[in-house]
Amino acid sequence: MAELAAIGLASNLLQFAELGVKLFRLARESYESGSTAQYEALRDQARSVQELAGRTRMVCKGSDSPRMGGLHRIALKCDDAVSGLTEILTKLEFDASKEEKGYKKAWRSVAQALQSVAHENNIRKSEENLKSVRNELQVYISTIAFQEQQDASWSLKNLCLQSERLEARTSDTLKEIMEKVKEIVKSLKNKEEEGFRDLVSNMEAEMDRFKYEKSRVEMQHKILKSLRFSHIQMRQEAIPKNHEATFDWVFEKDQGKRSKFPEWLESGEKVFWVQGKPGSGKSTLMKFLAAHEETRSRLQNWAGENHIAIANHFFWISGNSMQKSRQGLLQTLLYKVLKEVPGLIESVCGSRWRNSSHGFIEPWDEAELSQALYMLTSTTRLPVSFCFFIDGLDEYTAGAKKYHGTFEDLFQILYRLASIPCVKICVSSRPWTQFTESLGPKVEEWQLRIEDLSGGDIENYVMATLGSNPYYKQLAERDFRCHQIAKTIVQRAQGVFLWVYLVVKSLQNGLVHEDTYEELQYRLEYLPGDLDDFFQHMIESIEDVYWDNSYRYFKIMIEADQAIPLLAFEFLDREAQSPQYGPQYAMRMKVEVFSEEQLQSTYERVRKRVHARCNDLLHIEKSSVNFFHRTARDFCIDTGAIDRMVKKRVTTEFNPSLSLCKIMLALVKSLGDSVLHGDGLMHFARRVEEQFHEDILKKANSPQRAQEDLRVSFDLLDELDRSVGQMFRELEPTPSKQPKRQGVHWVNFRHSNEVGFRDPTGKTFLAASIQAGLSLYVESKIMEDPSQIKSKSGRPLLDYSLRRTMSNAWLSRSTGLEGPISSIVKLLLENGADPNEKMSPQIGEIGIKTPWEHFLQGCYDHASRVPDTDLHEEEIAETMISMIDHGADRNALAWAESDGAREADIPEVARVSGLSDYDVNRVESSLENAQAREQKKNQENERPPLHLNIFAVLLSLWWLEKKDRRAAYMRLLVGLWNLVWWPRR
């Protein structure tokens, strides 16, 4: 903090400036009294002031800070004023030790008095100058203090923003310090001489505290970021809210109905078990309990004065490894504990705290997480009491086969957590015997079976849903037995809410066809009671004549992994309709936006087709389609039910990703939304490329089929570029807009929020493809015309490949830095891209940088500031090595603003970016090799060419015949030496 140093220097200088003012006062008193005995002492003190002013000037002179420049000027004024005093003191001083008598002594006194009178005005003038310097110093200190407060406030704002992202309570102490600093700065503005330096000292002390605490908070954030993983909240957010008025029984005090959950919250008991069948609503209940205010209120009775922190983890069999593994559980709980009590991070994560001097912290492993949890367990007293809700223990078990976990491993963690005095744990799972045995005998008392307590909720739901059906109302008026249907459903449901939903849906379908009471009862008896069996029954009930289309519908829904437009199914059907449409339908379509009448008539037709071919497993909401429930999608994926049916029924093979590419192009042409569906096409085209790599590696399909799919995806991308270009020229022919669009590619008018990376008029479709990660498509285009690498104006293609920042509307992903794809980077470099090409300053930048420098800066900033980094370490390592091998400046630096405003070299950027020690060593080795190549090249440029060495030998032989033999011999030896050793260099 150069500004803080300036305050310290200015404070010291102020102290001596005040001393200088006193010196002038003493000097006046000395000459007024005629005494000269104090002159020597005054001169000594004046020298001290000058020395400090001189040291201040030297420190300021060596700094580039403009604030130090201001202090340097003030120090010069102080020095000048005190120098004037020293000069006056020298002239006024007389030799008191010299004995003078008579008229000489009288004359000496008269002369001294005359000199004093002559310099009185100078003394007063110098005194006023020094007072002015003192006042200027006070203003300077107040200004610097205010600026320092502003800088600290900005730092605090950034830290608070990070705290919010991490949901961490890390900034409380910093906020307290800042309040004190604000008060001091306010006082400095209004304070006169008295107490000013005390305020400055307090300011320095508080800023030192702020600096120390800031470094601690930054380290806490680094460790919390390393614990937080992407999708840490995804499963919880995907769980739907409970139906209205359900689960309220959990907190009821009716002795015949209530659970013991409220009592457990207030008691000292450690573990509570929520058990229930699949689809019974366990996850929904756990989400309800964790968020309910009464849960927190009752826990406070148990916790006493401690703060209550509620944390949860939802295992998910359909999630990634972190969502169904022991490491995911450990990391989630450790993160949620430490973000609530960040003061424990240093002791719980001591080794990381001590060893994390760089901006990046290595990924965690299970052993280290377990050790950290042990450290947390051994902490006897915490300022916070925790209640953990851990949902889906059985889903961890299902994933254990793949991730080498066991029940023993899982329950070791639970036992350790339960051993902490201020921790309670509520778990949920299916009613498996293993859990009863592992959770211990007390769990028989402290548990609830959701199906035993939700019967009333189910009956209310059935009566409310059927009661609002006009056909049911009419039937109930004719046949009083209809009221028994709800009770029958409750009995058969066994607490499985999802089964109830499906059954009610089936009954509603029957009511539309005027089913009688007997027919409705038959439906109930015919439908399977098990949820998985019910799903299988729904799939097997699809008519054979529809199966081929049904298979395609399900497969694209699984591949899309989100809701897709209803119109997509119209185009999917067209793909299978030869010769009217066929596989080339999207390429042949004209750019023609559907009218509202066309859309509505198409929607009506497609709705009926989807219902008939998917038996309500797919749900239509307005103009979009999705699985009716997460468990339906999970069933299709986890059990392979759709693929199993292929063996039983005739099914046409197709590539869902490629079909989705065609659908997206058709949607662009028919709906005119080039951003949403254009991004969708690029996304699924990348999936086709990934499948191509997978198929080639696994040899799953014939190379010809994989290559053909890839070629078709390339054609679709070319057609997207052509079609949207046509749309931009034709759909808005406003004359005022035409000049702006003349000669500018359409991709320049989309994703305009790429702040800091804009290429206002020079962006091309190839650049957009690089951003989308379409490596094989980019390779095909570069091979067709390598010259476009160098001919592109504006932002270089290499920079696009290094800093891929394109938003993807289809994935609902906003702009953000993504890591490079090393294969694209290497391709561009091998075809002439220059890593050291000078680029125009980007938005908010000063100075000209190269793609290489931008890449290094982006890696450092992203890794050190963003909690959820998307950069892939292997790709970064390969990219760095390729760039260095192709001549990237090995002395390039990144500005480490977040770490004390200093410069970071390439190896440090590699470490901060999360590269392993092995990859960091590879980068350093590449730098050494680049240096060796550079030195060798310089040596070759310095030594004389071969033909000159030969000429020197011949000249020496001639000289041997004609001239001085000794000199000739020496020249001959040198020439022969160079000639012999030249090739070896």
Mean pLDDT of 670-687: 85
Mean pLDDT of 437-450: 86
Mean pLDDT of 637-649: 83
Mean pLDDT of 754-766: 67
What is the residue extent of each domain of the chain? Answer: 2-219, 234-450, 455-527, 537-728, 788-939, 946-981
Work out the mean pLDDT of the chain and round it to a whole number. Answer: 76
Matching residue, tokens 């957590």: 417
pLDDT in the model for residue 774: 92
Across 512-521, 575-584, 693-702, 773-782, least confident range = 693-702
Across 412-416, 675-679, 822-826, 879-883, least confident range = 675-679
Buried b (16+ CB within 10 A) or exposed e, 913-931: bbbeeebbebbeebbeebe
Q: What angle do CA 902, 905, 907 make, to 5 degrees?
A: 135
Mean pLDDT of 637-656: 83
Mean pLDDT of 624-628: 83
DSSP 546: G
pLDDT in the model for residue 572: 92
Give the tens place of pLDDT for each residue, 574-591: 998 866 677 888 999 998
For the beta carbon of residue 622, count every other beta carbon within 10 angstroms.
7
pLDDT in the model for residue 941: 66
Give the tens place of pLDDT for each residue, 139-179: 666 666 666 666 766 666 776 776 666 666 666 666 676 66
Residue 354 has pLDDT above 60, yes or no: yes
* Radius of gyration, alpha carbons of the chain: 40
Residue 483 has pLDDT above 80, yes or no: yes
Band of pLDDT at residue 632, cut at 50, 70 and 90: confident
In percent, the amount of the chain with pLDDT more than 70 equals 63
Residue 109 has pLDDT above 70, yes or no: no
Give the tens place of pLDDT for each residue, 939-949: 766 655 655 55
pLDDT in the model for residue 70: 57
- Per this entry, what is the length of the chain? 985
Give the tens place of pLDDT for each residue, 40-79: 555 665 666 666 566 555 555 555 555 555 556 666 666 6
Kindly state the tokens that stand for 383. 């300022």
- Amino acid identity of residue 190, one-letter, is N
Residue 403 has pLDDT above 50, yes or no: no
Residue 695 has pLDDT above 90, yes or no: no
pLDDT in the model for residue 866: 45
Buried b (16+ CB within 10 A) or exposed e, 804-839: bbbbbbbeeeebebbbbbbbbbbbbbebebbbeeeb
Give the tens place of pLDDT for each residue, 806-817: 556 665 444 445
pLDDT in the model for residue 714: 94
Residue 887 has pLDDT above 80, yes or no: yes
Alpha carbon dihedral 27, 33, 36, 40, in 10-degree steps, equals -30
Residue 194's Cβ-count burial label (10 Å; 0-12, 13-18, 19+) is exposed
H-run or E-run covering 872: none
pLDDT in the model for residue 604: 92
Distances (CA, A) of 266 to 262, 300, 377: 7, 8, 22
Question: Under the phi-then-psi rule, with left for phi > 0, alpha for psi from -120 to 50, and beta for the rest, what region is 600?
Answer: alpha
pLDDT top residue among 43 and 651:
651
pLDDT in the model for residue 868: 40
Kindly state the tokens that stand for 492. 């058969």
Beta bridge partners of 428: 274
- Name residues whose C-beta falls within 8 Å of residue 100's C-beta, 6 or more positions apart in sequence: 108
pLDDT top residue among 872 and 721:
721
Query: Is residue 428 classed as helix, strand or coil in its secondary structure?
Result: strand
Kindly state the tokens that stand for 313. 């983890």
Band of pLDDT at residue 742, cut at 50, 70 and 90: low
pLDDT in the model for residue 186: 63
pLDDT in the model for residue 661: 94
Residue 98 has pLDDT above 90, yes or no: no
Residue 564 CA to residue 610 CA, distance in Å, equals 13
If you average pLDDT over each of 438-447, 707-716, 812-821, which comes out highest?
707-716
Residue 399 has pLDDT above 50, yes or no: no
DSSP 804: B
pLDDT in the model for residue 781: 94
- Please, what is the end-to-end C-alpha distance for the chain in angstroms? 50
Give the tens place of pLDDT for each residue, 309-318: 888 898 876 5
pLDDT top residue among 897 and 612:
612
- Amino acid identity of residue 748, one-letter, is N
Residue 826 has pLDDT above 80, yes or no: yes
Q: Please, are residues 536 and 644 in contact by the beta-carbon 8 Å criterion? A: no
Question: Under the phi-then-psi rule, with left for phi > 0, alpha for psi from -120 to 50, and beta for the rest, what region is 655?
Answer: beta
Q: Does domain 234-450 have CATH number 3.40.50?
A: yes
pLDDT in the model for residue 135: 66
Across 66-70, 183-187, 588-592, 801-805, least confident range = 66-70
pTM (two decimals): 0.58
pLDDT in the model for residue 816: 46
Distances (CA, A) of 923 to 840, 891, 916, 974: 28, 13, 11, 41
pLDDT in the model for residue 172: 66
Q: What angle do CA 394, 396, 402 make, to 5 degrees?
A: 125
DSSP one-letter string for 260-293: SHHHHHHSS--EEEEE--TTSSHHHHHHHHHH-H
Residue 524 CA to residue 490 CA, distance in Å, equals 11
Q: Please, are residues 215 and 29 in contact by the beta-carbon 8 Å criterion? A: no
In percent, the amount of the chain with pLDDT more than 90 equals 18
